[in-house]
Each structure stands twice: as structure tokens, then as C-alpha cells.
């Protein structure tokens, strides 16, 4: 659901749709909410090629359209973000298990520019 890769977004929606269809009625509302979020993420990836909320943290430049969306679009609980200190400042980079977790979670999804972490 959080990958910025459209085919993975398609796969997520297909999987969640199958799960929702297979659930007993009493269980559907909770997973239906997740499916709704998956459609929202899919829409962001389709429209922008990324999730604009992540741009500041990942040191990506937002387009004018993304900036307008960030100012006026729906929020998912995010606050205005600053760059994450341990990613943006090489002298404060994660190490050991902290670094391993960060890399294993973010790098395969294309969410982390490995050149920013030393």
C-alpha cells in the first residue's frame, strides 16, 4: 500500500479487494477502510508518480501541482514535516540494527535515496 510503484499499487488493490469479498459481513468494514486507503494511495501515485507528503522528508522537490495538493488536499494525519534528521545529516546517520531496519524497509520500495545515508 505504501510503495510508490504503480504495479505494486495495482497488486495491493487486487489483493485487498479479494480479501474484502471473501470476509464474513461482520468483518468487512475494517478491511474495507484499508481498501479505501489503498485506492487513495493508488490515486496519488497515478496523479503524481509519488506520495507528495513524503517529498520534504526524502529531499524531493515538489512540483507546483504537488505544492497545491499539499496545501489544499486531504490529510492522512500528517503534520507539516521537516527533513528527518538522521537521513538528512550524514553526521547523524543510523548505524547497526537501526540502519539495517531503515534500509530493509525503505530502500527496496524506492523510498530512500541510499546516497543520502553514509
Q: What is the structure's pLDDT at 78?
A: 60
Contact 55, 66 (CB under 8 A): yes
Give domain limits for the chain.
1-83, 84-118
What CA–CA distance (Å, rounded) separates 79 from 4? 20
Q: What is the structure's pLDDT at 85?
A: 44
What confidence tier does 103 reach under pLDDT thresholds 50, 70, 90? low
Compute CA 118 distance to the chain's CA centroid, rounded to the nearest angstrom. Answer: 23
Q: Please give the full DSSP string across 64-115, using - where no structure is assigned.
A: HHHHHHHHHS--SSPPP----HHHH-GGG---HHHHHHHHHHHGGGT---GG
**What are the cell numbers at 113?**
535515496
At the topology level of CATH, where does 1-83 sit?
Answer: 1.25.40
pLDDT tens, 27-40? 888 888 889 989 99
Contact 93, 118 (CB under 8 A): yes
CA-wise closest residue to 110 among 1, 5, 21: 5
> Cα–Cα–Cα angle for 3, 115, 87, nearest 5°?
70
pTM over 0.75: no
Amino acid at each position: 500500500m505504501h510503495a510508490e510503484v504503480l504495479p505494486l499499487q495495482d497488486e495491493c488493490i487486487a489483493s485487498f479487494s479479494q480479501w474484502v469479498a471473501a470476509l464474513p459481513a461482520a468483518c468487512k468494514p475494517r478491511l474495507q477502510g484499508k481498501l479505501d486507503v489503498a485506492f487513495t494511495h493508488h490515486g496519488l501515485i497515478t496523479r503524481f508518480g509519488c506520495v507528495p507528503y513524503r517529498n520534504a522528508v526524502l529531499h524531493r522537490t515538489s512540483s507546483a501541482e504537488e505544492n497545491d495538493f499539499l496545501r489544499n488536499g486531504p490529510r492522512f494525519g500528517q503534520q507539516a514535516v521537516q527533513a528527518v534528521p538522521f537521513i538528512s545529516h550524514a553526521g547523524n546517520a543510523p548505524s547497526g540494527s537501526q540502519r539495517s531496519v531503515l534500509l530493509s524497509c525503505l530502500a527496496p520500495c524506492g523510498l530512500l535515496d541510499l546516497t543520502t545515508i553514509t
